Amino acid sequence: MTGRMIDRMSEPLSDRPSTPLPIVLAGARGHGRWHVENIRRLQKKGIVRLVGICELTPLTEEELGDLGTPEQSADFGALLDATGARVAVICTPIPTHTDLALTAAERGVHLLLEKPPAPSYAEFRRMADGVAAAGVVCQIGFQSLGSHALTAVRELIEKGAIGKLVGLGGAGAWVRDEDYFRRAPWAGKRRLNGVEVIDGALTNPLAHAVATALALGGSTRAEDVAGIETELLRANAIESDDTSCVRITTSQGHQVTVAATLCAEQADEPYVLVHGSSGRITFWYKQDRVLLQRAGHGPEESEHGRTDLLENLVDHLTTGVDLLVPPDETGAFMKVVEAIRTAPDPAPLPDTAWHHVPGENRRVVPGIDGLVAAAADTLSLYSELGAPWAPPSNEVSTR
């Protein structure tokens, strides 16, 4: 029988200041629409007040709804100056992240910076070092790292519920049609007009699988990474990878293998699998759901709450609670981004390895769903699982 426990969201802090923090949003369409709705939710709670939106085309009254009449401009710096914002949310194309973050930092404006924080490790360091020098706070938008399940899983590992930690696997089998890779000029690109983009399956849409697996194993900082192997492939007519896997060797001595595809036969919930010597823990990170399986016990399932990262940033600024995802806690993830950036360009899959789905305008790699799951289950790369189209892995030492 499956045991089931619910961890409710903690009550809001009662000692927040009564004046909501003025906030500017850069990038309010595409994924930015999620931030619009989240700001709307927090504005209703009196936590923030939207004072500005930076977009090339202003939002309409219909898009704004009950958010009032924030100032709108395509000039981010001028908007920050005009509104007196204390916090900025940046959800713009990946190559713009560092410059916009530093524009805010120079003005003393604190940040929620969407993931991935930068397209290269050098740009990440330029951003993180600049923010630190300016004395402002930056939260990186890995929403899964706000899940209360992380604490629960770490406690299970620490108390030996699954024996000794052996390694961690991550699996992401998603479905994306060909229009997804035309959603923006930078979509599906490794470079655009000479600028790094690195919009691949593991660095953007399924980046949470990588960051969450690293976090659960306690390997979040750049120095926690000893080596990285990559296998990058593509079924679609794009530059970046849509079917890929990576294996990270950590300084703690265990491995983290994450496999991802945007060409799945059927979409599935992404998850991280924690392997122990006498059990395993599965964490479906979008659902905040955990399954513990161990020797001598029945399966135990639990659901957990989640702390919103913008709300946590406000609480950090106003009440001093710990920031959940500061830049240096994503250094290991950025080492993975760098390994993918410097790897050979993704290899096109042979025409025999994929097919079109009639009426859905998408490409599917037959058998990839099982390979993604097997990689997470065995900590193996595609080439080691016998995939006939997988090239030899590209290995990078970070020492």
Tens-binned pLDDT, residue by residue, of the chain (399 aa): 344 444 333 334 445 666 899 999 999 999 999 999 999 999 999 999 999 999 999 999 999 999 999 999 999 999 999 999 999 999 999 999 999 999 999 999 999 999 999 999 999 999 999 999 999 999 999 999 999 999 999 999 999 999 999 999 999 999 999 999 999 999 999 999 999 999 999 999 999 999 999 999 999 999 999 999 999 999 999 999 999 999 999 999 999 999 999 999 999 999 999 999 999 999 999 999 999 999 999 999 999 999 999 999 999 999 999 999 999 999 999 999 999 999 999 999 999 999 999 899 999 999 999 999 999 999 999 999 999 998 777 877 676
Cα angle vertex 107, ends 106, 111, to 5°?
A: 85
For the chain, give every domain's residue range: 3-143, 149-304+327-397
- For residue 396, the model assigns a pLDDT of 73
The rounded distance, in Å, linking the Cα atoms of 380 and 371 is: 10
Q: Residue with structure tokens 């593509």?
A: 234
Give the SS3 label for residue 252.
coil
List the structure tokens of 61.
Answer: 């009254």
Distances in whole angstroms, Cα of residue 185 to Cα of each of 9, 92, 93, 96, 181: 39, 12, 9, 13, 9
The rounded distance, in Å, linking the Cα atoms of 138 and 391 is: 38
Q: Tally the residues of the chain.
A: 399
The rounded distance, in Å, linking the Cα atoms of 240 and 119 is: 13
The strand pairing partners of 357, in sequence order, are 362
Ramachandran bin of 279, using left for φ above 0, alpha for ψ from -120 to 50, beta for the remaining angles = left
Give the SS3 label for residue 332.
helix
Count the neighbouring beta carbons within 10 Å of the beta carbon of residue 269.
Answer: 13
Do residues 336 and 246 make contact, with C-beta atoms less than 8 angstroms apart?
A: yes
- For residue 394, the model assigns a pLDDT of 81
- For residue 152, the model assigns a pLDDT of 98
- For residue 4, the model assigns a pLDDT of 45
For strands 195-196 and 71-73, give the pairing. unpaired
The rounded distance, in Å, linking the Cα atoms of 245 and 346 is: 11
Respond yes or no on whether the N-terminal peptide bond of residue 326 is cis (omega within 30° of 0): no
Q: Which CATH class is domain 149-304+327-397?
A: alpha beta
Count the neighbouring beta carbons within 10 Å of the beta carbon of residue 152.
Answer: 18
The strand pairing partners of 396, in sequence order, are 228
- Output phi, psi for 314, to 5 deg: -65, -45
Topology of domain 3-143 in CATH is: Rossmann fold (3.40.50)
Burial of 358 (0-12, 13-18, 19+ CB in 10 A): exposed
The rounded distance, in Å, linking the Cα atoms of 155 and 302 is: 14
Distances in whole angstroms, Cα of residue 282 to Cα of each of 18, 244, 261, 299, 314: 40, 21, 19, 11, 31
Q: Which string of DSSP letters, residue by residue, matches 114-130?
A: PSS--SSHHHHHHHHHH
Burial of 296 (0-12, 13-18, 19+ CB in 10 A): exposed
- For residue 397, the model assigns a pLDDT of 67
Any idea of the CA torsion for 29, 33, 38, 39, to the nearest 10 degrees? 30
Burial of 110 (0-12, 13-18, 19+ CB in 10 A): buried
Q: Which residues of 60-92 are buried (b: 16+ CB within 10 A; e: fewer)?
A: eeeebeebeebbebeebeebbeebebbbbbbbb
- For residue 15, the model assigns a pLDDT of 55
